Structures are given as structure tokens and as C-alpha cells.
Amino acid sequence: MDTREIATEFTRLCKAGQFDEAGHRFWSDKVVSTEAMDGPMSRCEGLKEVQAKGQWWNDNHEVHSFKTEGPFVNGDQFALRFEIDVTPKVGERAGQRTQMAEVGVYTVRDGKIVEERFFY
Amino acid sequence: MDTREIATEFTRLCKAGQFDEAGHRFWSDKVVSTEAMDGPMSRCEGLKEVQAKGQWWNDNHEVHSFKTEGPFVNGDQFALRFEIDVTPKVGERAGQRTQMAEVGVYTVRDGKIVEERFFY
């Protein structure tokens, strides 16, 4: 599969809400995931850490809706835009329902996602 | 100015339709601009080539509307999402009014944009 094919299938799974399956199929064992914030999860390295971040996020947010737009492709990278309506269960913003948009940029190598960066 | 400040000002100019001014202020002399297509403009290197690409695009498209969303920031990069309603004047799609969305990812170094990549 080339980058556009991977992007299309990854996006299809995200649009269906199957984020775990998308990661399971396409994350490299050595995937690096970066968030645009400070803290322990600003950079996660390796499949276990990245999966743990996803699990933490799922456990600590009530998701009212999650829309995925894309994919947008360039070379070995693709971008997705997310529209998220969510209430955090913990932290400073606990209980505050928030609507936000963000962009994820994914880098593909040898058929797997080796890096994802989230922009907001 | 840090990356978020540059991104905010660059985006403000794009939202006002001042793309030339945005580039004039923030492109590095060595900026590299890549498009997600084959052809002579798939990769432009240096301010003159990138400005020439912009001029070519302006000369060869009738723009009905151009909306900019963002900025979305992560580290030394930021992303913008564009919604474009345009009719090309030349090429295979000449005369065909088209609506499309795309994402631009910009990399900042020493206060200037050193790379921009367009995803679609």
C-alpha cells in the first residue's frame, strides 16, 4: 500500500470511530507521537507508550462527538483534521464541555505510521 | 517572535487575503515549498522560485473564495486549513469551477518559514 492508500484506510477507520483498530493496523512498533503541550505525554515513543496515551485519553474524556476530515496527502505524509466535542473528566478543565479543532500529521515509512504530530 | 506568534500573524494576513505580504514577511530566503503533485512546481526552492509559483497561481486561477482556518501549532511547526473555491484558467481543468480543502504545514526556524508543504 502506498501512502495515499494507507491514509485512506486509516481515515476510514477513524471516521467509523475505530481509532484503536486504525492504530493497531498502521502504527509502527517504533511510532513516535507528539502533542502540542508540555507534560509527560508531550512525546510518546513506541507502540506501548502511544497505546497507553490513547487509553488514558479514552478513560479521561467524555466524547460527545468526534469528526474526522481527510485524508490530505503529500509524499510520505498525510494530514487529518479533527472536530472534537468533549468534556474532560480530570485536570483544570474537568467538567467543562469544549469544542475544538485540531490537525494530525502522520509520516509513513515501509507501510507503517512512524510519526504522528497533533497541532492545535 | 516564537512559532505561535509567527503563526498567528501569518494566519491573520492570510485571512485578510494578504498572501504576498505574509510570504514577504515570513518566508526565509531559502524557503522550500512542496506540492502534492508531479510537475515543475512540485518542489520550489528559494524565495524567487516560491514567489514565482505564487504569481503563476494567481495569474492562472479565478478565485471565487479563499478561507483560511487556524493556526494549529506544534513545536516549530504550524498548520493551516484552506477552503478554496476556484476556476483554473489553464490545464486539464480549465473552466471547471472546483471547491476543495487543503492543509498547509509550515516549519519555522529563526523566526522565518523555511518549509511549507501542501496536502490534498
Q: Say if residue A40's pLDDT is above 90.
A: no
- Tell me, what's the pLDDT at B100? 96
Strand A27-34 to strand A112-119: parallel, antiparallel, or no bridges (unpaired)?
parallel
pLDDT band for B29, please (50, 70, 90 cuts): very high
Contact B119 A36 (CB under 8 A): no
ipTM metric: 0.92
Helices (H), B60-112: none
**Residue of chain A whose Cα is closest to the Cα of B78:** A119
Which tens digits make up the pLDDT trace of A64-109?
A: 999 999 999 999 999 999 999 999 999 999 999 999 999 999 999 9
- Neighboring chain B residues of A101 at a CB cutoff of 8 Å: 69, 72
Distance (Å, whole) CA B80 – CA A47:
28
Distance from the Cα of A7 to chain B's closest Cα (Å) equals 11
* Nearest-10 crossing angle of helices A3-15, A19-26: 160
**Identity of the residue in B34, B73, B103 whose CB atom sits nearest the CB atom of A79:** B103
The candidate with the shortest Cα–Cα distance to A7, out of B36, B66, B42, is B36
> A64 to chain B nearest CA, in Å?
22
Give residue for cell 478561507. B67
